[in-house]
Amino acid sequence: MFFRSRSRSRASRRLDPVQAHQRAAHGQAVLLDVRETAEWEAGHAPDALHLPLSRLVAGEALPPAAQGRSVVAICRSGRRSRQAVEILTGRGTEATDVTGGMVAWSRAGLPVAGPDGDDGAIA
């Protein structure tokens, strides 16, 4: 009999930054940034939606544009986004997260928008 381990199942739900960017760019998923507001304002993926993990944990619903869609969660390094995926999948949402978070996103040369539409920074 074959059993897939829980850690393998979790690993299969993760994307690298380029894969996440491609899925969002092609409309296959919504990118959801779960960092806190100050982090988001310093710099975020240009088309990402924002819902801090603290509000997701408190029971807040996904933004309307993300409801009923596949979600790719992202945070600074990947820890909070993994928590978000667990919450979202528990609510019946198809969700995955980005390995390495916004740090890896930026290192991959992907766009980061700042508060005035200029280049942002990862806080």
The residues assigned a catalytic role are 75
CB burial of 48-68 (b: ≥16 within 10 Å; e: otherwise) equals: bbbbbbeebeeeeebeeebee
* Phi, psi of 89, deg, nearest 5: -65, -30
- In this structure, how many other beta carbons lie within 10 angstroms of the beta carbon of residue 42? 16
**Distance (Å, whole) CA 11 – CA 44:** 24
Name the strand (E) or helix (H) holding 72.
strand 71-74
Residue with tokens 């869609």: 69
Q: Across the strands, what pairs with 50?
A: 33
